[in-house]
Structure 1
Amino acid sequence: MKDVETLKILVTGGAGFIGYHLTKALLREGHRIIGIDNMNEYYDPQLKYDRISKLVEFDNYQFLKGDITNKDFLLTLFENSGFEIVINLAAQAGVRYSIENPYAYIDSNIYGFMNVLEACRHFPVKHLLYASSSSVYGGNKMSPFSTSHNVDHPVSLYAATKKSNELMAHTYSHLYGIPTTGLRFFTVYGPFGRPDMAYYSFTKDIFDERPIKVFNHGLMERDFTYIDDVVEGIIGLLKQIPSSVKNWDESKDSISSSFAPYKIYNIGNNAPVSLMRFIKAIESSIGKEAKKVFFDMQPGDVVKTYADVDELEEAIDFKPTTTIEDGISRFVNWYKDYYNIRFE
């Protein structure tokens, strides 16, 4: 165990993909973690229960089934637990699903986050970190995407809710002095991931000998970020508590900071990968070529994401090291083991 101060930390969305990996790393450092999750059926809940089954082996971990949209549950939890750090990863994820079921995003990502902010207001914490998304960059053409860029042109409701989270966090930072850090994640992937993500569904389809759907005829790029690199970035920011920038001036100071104790960071690989290289990495790891069916771009999607991580590198010396080939290989090995696949 590293020589670190032991903290009491709440991780919402603790049974989710990032929540699971982050919690496991924090537990190994000796922190006391309470994880909450509503265990919804957006994707197979068994994955969530299997993640939790690995976390409850730690003595310094407690899991509670609960929903951040339940204000009374959340306030009671905060009142009784004395959290020092809160990491809000609970959200309704998925760009495409936000077109089919928009109200789920308002409930979880807006109303639920409001409850988290109110809980932090009434039971103050040292630091609130929360998941934002690279989706906030929307229709931006300038790359790499920088936290100094305007993000007022979302192309999905999911992106709009994440931008709203940043605005809400800033307001509470200003009004109540809550130090908040927004984390704009760029296409996180890895073992125990989300089945709705392309790398997961592509892998499943190739093993099941079904064709994969390739959108925009493969002419897309993503700044795929391996889960271990993301976890390293989050943990590095725990004690990077934002402070107010005296005499902050938007004409000369970074808009990722503020006169409030507020900060935004990109957490990405800083190395976009073409969709076809990404598919090739999956094919190579499986040892079989995919049958591909090409489609036009889907509503709400974007052609390219590319993270500028200069501020994160300056703050915590963040340097992602995992190539797409290495990361996909680790995922495919996990997938074969988890689903007991013997593929020749």
Structure 2
Amino acid sequence: MRIIVTGAAGFIGSHAVKALLQAGHSVLGIDNMNEYYDSRLKSDRLASIGDNKDFRFEKTDITDHRKIAELFSNYAPERVLHLAAQAGVRYSMESPFSYIESNLKGHLSILEAVRNTPSVKHLVYASSSSVYGNDTIAPFSENDRADKPISLYAATKRADELLSESYSSLYKINQTGLRFFTVYGPWGRPDMAYWIFTKAILESNPIKVFNGGNLERDFTYIDDVVDVLVKIVEDIPKNNQNRIYNIGGSRPRPLRDFIEEIALACGKPAICQYYPMQPGDVYRTYADLTKISKDYNYEARVGIEIGIHSFVDWYRGYYKI
């Protein structure tokens, strides 16, 4: 089938494109290649997809709703995987308007394009575990209210879910929102802690550890994410609904364990400098996977003992260390 993937040069997006092509689908990738982090990494991700007659790439900003509408009309996709967004919790305090543009205006642009493209049978879009904030009782369930975001980034992702809910109700659009829990792995994002820690440890530089290291994260390896992504994209929800699923590892680990595993993979000790809790950060993430396990037989298979070593091996190879 024909599938549009936004954020195709991103971390999850590029992995998803490869998996969808391998599954026999045709993909139109869209990305604006912005400079939030080094765009050369994005270009290299696209290059890693390789030459494939079933893949085409368009450098386009999702906020350009006229161009997006034109691409949808010409390509007539049957599925849409919308992953493009301005990411990052802390950067949302430095550049708030970029989040409103990309995450709200951009999401609306995709919703309108889907609404006006009859061939689309299912829109799958990225949300975030950040929507749960600090007040949710662990493990975090999709049934929780999630109405107290503590960062602008989280607020925009929750707002995307509400926009999608309204469009499903008004226009009978099948949608699935995915709350990703700390996804990591090869070709990851340089603004993520595991990347920052790996770089610092290999260069014998100190790393900043916030809240004294008393944080827990539900780490999710990229291969586990992509496996279930393909199943969800290929599917069509019943009753024109806007479904929400957690995608996590469901094994929250202390930040200290994560740092120790990175240091082990790097073969060098971590030099830790401790700082207070950062504004906008959460103390713990923990995904309840009951719903996605029941509907898609999802199981997180790769723990950090394997996943971190895989990332560090990739990092060394990519930077020729």
Matches within 5 A, 1:26-41: 26-41=20-35
- How much does 1:56 deviate? 4.0
TM-score by length of 1: 0.92
Matches within 5 A, 1:1-344: 7-124=1-118, 125-244=120-239, 261-341=241-321
- How much does 1:236 deviate? 1.7
CA distance in 2 between counterparts of 1:161 and 1:217 reads: 29
CA distance in 2 between counterparts of 1:119 and 1:227 reads: 28
- How much does 1:239 deviate? 3.5
Q: Is the 8 A contact 1:132 1:182 kept in 2?
A: yes
CA distance in 1 between counterparts of 2:103 and 2:31 reads: 14
Q: Is the 8 A contact 1:56 1:63 kept in 2?
A: no
Q: Is the 8 A contact 1:190 1:327 kept in 2?
A: yes
Q: Is the 8 A contact 2:176 2:242 kept in 1?
A: yes
CA distance in 2 between counterparts of 1:264 and 1:72 reads: 28
- How much does 1:234 deviate? 1.0
Q: Deviations over 1:7-65 (max 9, x none)?
A: 10000000000001111111111110010100000001000000111224222111110
- The number of equivalent residue pairs is 320
CA distance in 1 between counterparts of 2:106 and 2:9 reads: 17
RMSD of the TM alignment (CA)?
0.8
Q: Is the 8 A contact 1:68 1:116 kept in 2?
A: yes
Q: Is the 8 A contact 2:134 2:283 kept in 1?
A: no
- How much does 1:204 deviate? 0.5
Q: Secondary structure at the residue paired with 2:165? A: helix
CA distance in 2 between counterparts of 1:146 and 1:243 reads: 21
Q: Deviations over 1:244-300 (max 9, x none)?
A: 3xxxxxxxxxxxxxxx51100000001001100000000000111011100001000
CA distance in 2 between counterparts of 1:319 and 1:85 reads: 24
TM-score by length of 2: 0.98
Q: Is the 8 A contact 1:243 1:262 kept in 2?
A: no
CA distance in 1 between counterparts of 2:49 and 2:308 reads: 24
Q: What stretches of structure 1 of length at least 5 have no aligned partner?
A: 1-6, 245-259
Q: Secondary structure at the residue paired with 1:269? A: coil
Q: What stretches of structure 2 of length at least 5 have no aligned partner?
A: none
Identity value in percent: 53
Q: Secondary structure at the residue paired with 2:234? A: coil
Q: Secondary structure at the residue paired with 1:238? A: helix
CA distance in 2 between counterparts of 1:307 and 1:84 reads: 30
Q: Is the 8 A contact 1:95 1:157 kept in 2?
A: yes
Q: Is the 8 A contact 1:56 1:62 kept in 2?
A: no
Q: Deviations over 1:153-194 (max 9, x none)?
A: 000000000000000001111111110100000000000000
CA distance in 2 between counterparts of 1:235 and 1:208 reads: 37
